[in-house]
Amino acid sequence: MQRDDSQHASRLADELLVVRCQLGERDAFDALVRRWAGPISGYAGRVTGDADGAAELTQDVWLRVVRGIGRIEDTSRFRSWLFGIAHRAFADQLRRKYRAAMPLPAEDDVDAGESEAAFDVEAVERGLARLAPVEREILTLFYLEELAIDEVATALSIPTGTVKSRLHRARKQLRRALESHGDTQ
């Protein structure tokens, strides 16, 4: 219950900031960027798989937000609107790149002293990096950015049934990627 109240308050704060942005308040936009910089850069890092691509994507997202924030009609849907922009920017970035297989990141050795939870997070990150962008993105939005299925559907401009089937397929592929590289227990 407390988490729902916190999420509701956070959404109301976002709505207020969006309205203030639409009224031309520069400080409101700066506050919005501060609130969402972490989630957007985290999303960008996970879907691109490299720091340079993530930085470029993050910059593109905020540029698109500046240009489009005045057109948001339903301010309560800001979160899904924002990740929708991130999705479209990522798709455009992929279109610009030549079609080459993504190299797998080097697997770092994990210190024996590190916690099991840290190892699991690193294993999942490596598993995500092995997935195709579509699967990586759907898992990132649903699990890591904690968007609800309907918010993911809005962000990606696809039906909720498609979100569910992509999640199902992506989970299976992630499980296979983790098992094939010995990242599961």
**Nearest Cα to Cα of residue 82 among 65, 94, 70, 66:** 65
pLDDT band at 3, cuts 50/70/90? low
Alpha-carbon distance 13 to 154, whole Å? 21
Instruction: Tell me how far the alpha carbon of residue 140 is from its chain's centroid.
Output: 5
* Mean pLDDT confidence for 61-80: 94
CATH number of 110-185: 1.10.10.10
pLDDT band at 31, cuts 50/70/90? very high
Of the two residues 82 and 119, the one the predictor is more confident about is 82
What pLDDT is recorded for position 110?
A: 39
The CATH 1.10.1740.10 portion of the chain extends over 1-100
What pLDDT is recorded for position 2?
A: 64
* Mean pLDDT confidence for 53-77: 95
pLDDT band at 96, cuts 50/70/90? confident
> For domain 1-100, which CATH number applies: 1.10.1740.10, 3.40.50.920, 3.20.20.70, 3.30.465.10?
1.10.1740.10
Tokens found for residue 12: 């109301």
Alpha-carbon distance 42 to 121, whole Å? 14
| Percent with pLDDT over 70 in the chain | 84
pLDDT greater than 90 at residue 72: yes
The CATH 1.10.10.10 portion of the chain extends over 110-185
| Residues 128-159 as b or e (16 or more Cβ within 10 Å = b) | bbbbeebbbbbbbbbeebebeeebbbbbbeee
pLDDT greater than 80 at residue 4: no
